[in-house]
Structure 1
Amino acid sequence: MLDNLKNTIDVTLEEISVITGEIKNKIDKIWTDMWAGGVTNPLTVIEQITYLMFIRSLDEKELENESFEALTSEKMEKIFPQDDDGQAMRWSKFKDKDSREIFGVIGQKVFPFIKSLNGNNASAFSRYMENAMFMIPTPQILQKIVTGLDDLYEKDLTGLDMQGDLYEYMLDKLATAGQNGQFRTPKHIREMMVQLVNPTPDDTICDPACGTAGFLVSASEYVRKKYEATMTSEQWEHFDKGAFSGFDTDSTMLRISAMNLMLHSISNPDIDYKDSVSKQNEIISKYSICLANPPFAGTVDSESINDNLKAICSTKKTELLFVALFLRMLKKGGRCACIVPDGVLFGNSNAHKELRRELVENQHLQAIISMPSGVFKPYAGVSTAVLIFTKTDDGGTDNVWFYDMKSDGKTLDDKRQETDKNDIPDILERWNYLDQEFDRAKTEQSFFVTKAEIEGNGYDLSINKYKEVIYEKVEYDSPKVIMERIDQIDEEIVTLKTELKELLNLDL
């Protein structure tokens, strides 16, 4: 939909957008109206709001085309039919109508229209509308949502960055985990991982378990912020159409992720319905970066698992299969930052050991960042780590950098409130100056471990295997002194009891 991506960026990244309390109150009001109408599933609420945001964006694009056509006399392809019925489907035409008329136009005309855009619109969002359902229950609720969104766009959403931040705020309301342990990765953790792999405008980036496309959004924001002023037209074209790929097995998630990317200025991402670890996925050596938080604690049917993943580690555990998948999908020299449960680092099964051996012996395993168990609360309390490695197929691991993250800037309870304790800036600073880490002892928060030591420990990659703890010697008093102190306490107790009895006798 965006013909010239660079020209559509309404605000520079220096103008940092912030979702204020007033904007949050407005979106919360829309959310409350949906709940009051009986739409109580957070995913459904976001999906229905997404449809309306998309409907409005089509009219905005049409208005841009009309303005461009008026200025240049160059004929532009129209999105909406030019007859009366077609023009009546535009947001600007129906938004101020009676609630029953809005309900009829959207439910009977606009919604079927956007579902039929499949062959005529290049956006990833339109490709996943086939099974979409219009579920806003009443005209009154729909009118409230239309009015609320229009107010947000007219007064508050001044550019693509602000729209994207608004969508992130809505996605943060998803408070339930998926069936296979899927849950949203906090934005600050995603941004840390993106900075660790340092994507460029020439990279091809994939998340094969993309969910709401958070990692792809964070990567796109990083590239825009760092390279916007120097990107060539070819790089902008790549940014819009070829740089970002994501796969998922949930059509709702695909629709939401496509909208999330569109609101972050990527109109044509490669978002596809795909079971990434199955035989359906034959992608090999295609991407230069993989970023992911794949599903934990899940298993898949052994018959459906792609054979070339079994060659790396024969298992049905999704957390192992996805790491093997990253190795297969990356080009040589490709970089990966992924989240794994701690069990991947020390599990005793043959599959666990073979996968770790593959990373250490045949690839370049660079770092393991151990994260505290509260990072994913309130969704889950699982202990996790970030693996960072480069695909070489020829080794390269000499030393592995370990970091013991104790805090991520938020409390580690269910409330996850802001706190001054935050190791992420230190992690990023040390990552940029790794040469200075070799002198650090294993008693410190970060340190290097040699490949030989890891091999000697059966390729165990848990930080506790190598971290040294200094125990302070505690001096205790002699038994004689302790007994004297106990005798003194006994005497005091006797005295107090005597005084209490005297008081009680007086009262009687």
Structure 2
Amino acid sequence: MEKNTTKTEVREKIQELLKTLKAEQEKKPLRLVEQLGYLMYVRLFIESQKRASLQESFPFAGFPMEWTPGDEEVEDGQRIWQLQYQVQYCSSMVEPGHFMETAKLEENGLWMRELCKLIDWTADHCDWEEGMPHLFGVMLEEMLRQMYAWGTTGLFLMPENLTEALIRLADGRKIEKVWNPATRTGGFLAAAHRQYPQWQLYGCEEEKNQWQIARMLQFYHGGGMEGIRRDDPLETDRIDKTGERTPEGEVPTYEEYDLIVTNPPVGELPIEDQERYWISTRKAQLQYMQMLMNHVKKQGMVIAVVNEGTLFMYDAEQKVRQYLLNDYQIQGVISLPAGAFLPYTGSKASVLIFTREEEIDREQPVWFYEIQNLGYSLDRRQERTGVDDIPAMLASWENRKELADQWKHQLEEAAAQNQWENPVPAHWEEKSCWFASLDTIAKNDNNLSAGRYKPWKEQETVVTESPAQLLKELADLETDTMKKVQELMEMARDYE
């Protein structure tokens, strides 16, 4: 944080703002994020007229503009008129494709006044010495995270500490080009830029509002926006590097990346789209997995968050896993706890890590790691617990070769079998990580779920609630789900 500004202060400022604006009651709360992004640009545009460190990021202003502080006594109509004029002027100055090109302000005096106050506070706490002040991007991202916690916005955001940790899995690799074909609001790309500003970042996002916000985040974190396209990567995947669509029957030339980090969407696609790839399927997540294989460079890495079914189900899932295991090097699987992505979904997910090598090393076992604690409660409240397994996971990943040697050595000394009759060391002391050979995985129908190879038996979960209470909770959950679906349908109609 800049000028000793803490995450707690940022969080409290956004909480205060959203409460004042009663933003949780908005049908389309992402409009508020867009409005903040537009006004931030105006403030920085004005600052660039006197700060050389910003002038590279903003076009030259033909004449000076003045910023009206949020706490200055100005009639709402006058403030709105002035800000609308400034937004319009800025939009006329930017290059085509910039998020400000189509910027438009809401005629809401309360929004404009309170957003200006927040921007003033941000500006007062910024470090203006080098380029884009990092704090502007932090404020925008924190607003997104607090809106996500409501569970009514249709957003999906990875926990910040997990997002940054997954990027760090690529430490030590030679990386230039990074791609996220399911960009959403740009959290992965923003985290990648914060940690490795030298990387070239690319992304795809079909939904207009999230695409707009993703470009804002990149800009305010000091990155470029031109690599984030608005399209459906599955639809455009037959377009080669020349921009021409590949004729039917010919193999397309795919754009390749050193690192692909993504959380593919889950869902059913139209039946007419099921033959896009070599393994026929209507499941979006399986088509994405095949697309990732097409686009990773030799010696490149893919880090994909996948729903648990992708790792163990039969039919198309098993075929995709078999292709992965035959043609790519599976480096590891990180098992995430159920509830990690609430309030968006309570479903269990894992992180699949694989690389494209010249030749598969069949002697290299797959590293499995089980995360149980992410630093917050695994419910809709997501209260901070202070217990976080991520640092230990990263340490284990870094030392996985040494741990794999220990696994092999102990397996030779004293072998046993786990509950799935898979070979494990009789006395394995690492409680969160273990390994499985490619041969063992093949004998298990290419199952890649971590629990399958765990060195000890899982303890049974004892249900202490009465059946009546469980049924009531199930009914409440269904009612809550239908309410949220209805809200999302209304939001979708509003955006049409």
SS in 1 for 2:169: helix
Q: Is the 8 A contact 1:357 1:459 kept in 2?
A: yes
The equivalences for 1:95-244 within 5 A come to 98-107=75-84, 109-117=85-93, 120-121=94-95, 124-126=98-100, 129-130=101-102, 132-137=103-108, 139-155=109-125, 160-175=133-148, 183-198=156-171, 202-224=175-197, 239=199, 243-244=200-201
Aligned to 2:371: 405
**Residue 41 of structure 2 corresponds to which residue in structure 1?**
54
Within 2, Cα distance between the matches of 1:123 and 1:91? Answer: 25
**SS of 2:46's equivalent?**
helix
Is 1:368–1:386's contact at 8 Å kept on the other side of the alignment?
yes
Q: Sort the Cα spacing of 1:140 and 1:357 in 2 relative to 1 into closer, same or farther, 3 A.
A: closer
Q: Quick one: structure 1 residues 37 and 114, their matched pair in 2 at CA, closer, same or farther if it must change by over 3 Å?
A: farther
1:112/1:37 Cα in 2 relative to 1: closer, same or farther (>3 Å)?
Answer: farther
Aligned partners of 1:48 and 1:136 also within 8 Å: no
Amino acid at match of 1:390: T
- How far residue 372 of structure 1 moved from its aligned partner, in angstroms, is 0.6
Indicate yes or no: 2:382 matched with 1:416.
yes
Match of 1:6 in 2: none
Q: Is 1:446 the equivalent of 2:433?
A: yes
1:311-368 deviations in Å (ceiling 9; x for gaps): 1x2112111111111111111111011100000001112x111110111110111101
Any conservation in 2 of the 1:182–1:294 contact (CA below 8 Å)? no
The structural deviation recorded for 1:142 is: 1.8
Q: Conserved in 1, the CA contact under 8 Å of 2:258 and 2:299?
A: yes
1:499 corresponding residue in structure 2: none
Instruction: Give the SS at the match of 1:300.
Output: coil
Secondary structure of 1:249's match? coil
- Write the deviation string for residues 90-112 of structure 1: whole angstroms up to 9, x where unpaired: 536999554322211233x2333
Alpha carbons of 1:471 and 1:292: their partners in 2 closer, same or farther (altered >3 Å)?
closer
Deviation at 1:122, TM superposition (A): 6.9
- Aligned amino acid, residue 404 of structure 1: E
* TM-aligned CA distance change 1:250 to 1:147, over 3 Å: same
Check the 8 A contact 1:337/1:388 in 2, yes or no.
yes
- AA in 1 matched with 2:322: R
- 8 Å CA contact 1:17, 1:165 repeated in 2: no
Counterpart residue identity of residue 399, structure 1: P
Task: Pick closer, same or farther for the CA change 1:425–1:460 going to 2, 3 Å.
Answer: same
The answer for the alignment partner of 1:29 in structure 2 is: 16
Distance in 2, Cα, partners of 1:278 & 1:42 = 29
Q: Does 1:260 find its partner at 2:217?
A: yes
The answer on whether the counterparts of 1:274 and 1:281 sit within 8 Å (CA) in structure 2 is: no
The more displaced of 339-348 and 410-419 is 410-419
Query: Which consecutive aligned stretches of 4+ in structure 1 deviate over 6 angstroms post-superposition?
Result: 66-69
1:134 and 1:407 map into 2 onto residues whose CA distance is 42
Change (3 A) 1:418 1:335: same
Q: 1:80 aligns with which of 51, 54, 61?
A: 61
* 1:362 aligns to 2:343 (yes or no): no
More displaced, 163-172 or 141-150?
141-150
Q: String of CA shifts for 1:156-179, please: whole Å, max 9, x gaps.
A: 676733223222211111236689
For 2:302, which of 336, 340, 347 is the aligned residue?
Answer: 336
> Could you tell me how far apart the structure 2 residues matched to 1:265 and 1:113 are?
22
Q: Which amino acid aligns with 1:101?
A: Q
Query: Does structure 2 conserve the Cα–Cα contact (< 8 Å) formed by 1:338 and 1:387?
Result: yes
Q: Is the 8 A contact 2:300 2:355 kept in 1?
A: yes
* Deviation of 1:155 (Å): 4.1
Q: Which residue of 1 aligns with 2:8?
A: 20
Looking at secondary structure, tell me which structure has more helix per residue. 1
- Paired residue secondary structure (1:31): helix
Structure 1 vs Structure 2 CA RMSD: 3.3
Task: Give how far 1:446 is off.
Answer: 1.3
Cα distance in 2 between the residues matched to 1:333 and 1:471: 36
Q: How far does residue 81 in structure 1 lie from its aligned partner after superposition? A: 3.6
2:196 counterpart SS class = helix
Gaps of 5+ in 2: 241-253, 408-423, 460-496
Q: In 2, Cα distance between the equivalents of 1:77 and 1:171?
A: 24
> Is the CA contact (8 Å cut-off) linking 1:122 and 1:268 kept in structure 2?
no
- 1:64, distance to aligned residue in structure 2 (A): 2.7
Partner residue, 1:478: none
SS of 1:197's equivalent in the other structure is coil
Q: Give SS of 2:99's match.
A: helix
Relative to the length of structure 2, the TM-score reads 0.75
Q: What's the CA shift for 1:306?
A: 7.8
C-alpha spacing 1:362/1:411, structure 2 compared with 1 (3 Å)? same
Question: Do 1:277 and 1:306's aligned partners in 2 also have CA atoms closer than 8 Å?
Answer: no
Q: Which amino acid aligns with 1:405?
A: I
Q: Offset at 1:281? A: 5.8
State whether residues 402 and 448 of structure 1, in contact with CA within 8 Å, keep that contact through their aligned partners in structure 2.
yes
Instruction: Tell whether the 8 Å contact from 1:246 to 1:272 is kept in structure 2 after alignment.
Output: yes
1:275 matches 2:263: no
Q: CA offsets per residue over residues 396-420 of structure 1, 9 Å max, x none?
A: 4542111122222222222222224
Q: Distance in 2 between matches of 1:419 and 1:67?
A: 39
Aligned counterparts of 1:359 and 1:16: Cα–Cα separation in 2: 46
Q: Which residue of 2 aligns with 1:481?
A: none
Q: CA deviation at 1:291?
A: 0.8
Structure with the greater alpha carbon radius of gyration: 1
User: 1:39 and 1:142 mapped to 2: Cα distance?
Assistant: 16
Corresponding residue to 2:293 among 310, 327, 330: 327
Q: How many angstroms does 1:300 deviate by?
A: 2.1
Structure 1 position 464, deviation (Å): 2.4
Conservation of the 8 A alpha-carbon contact between 2:434 and 2:455:
no
Paired residue for 1:496? none
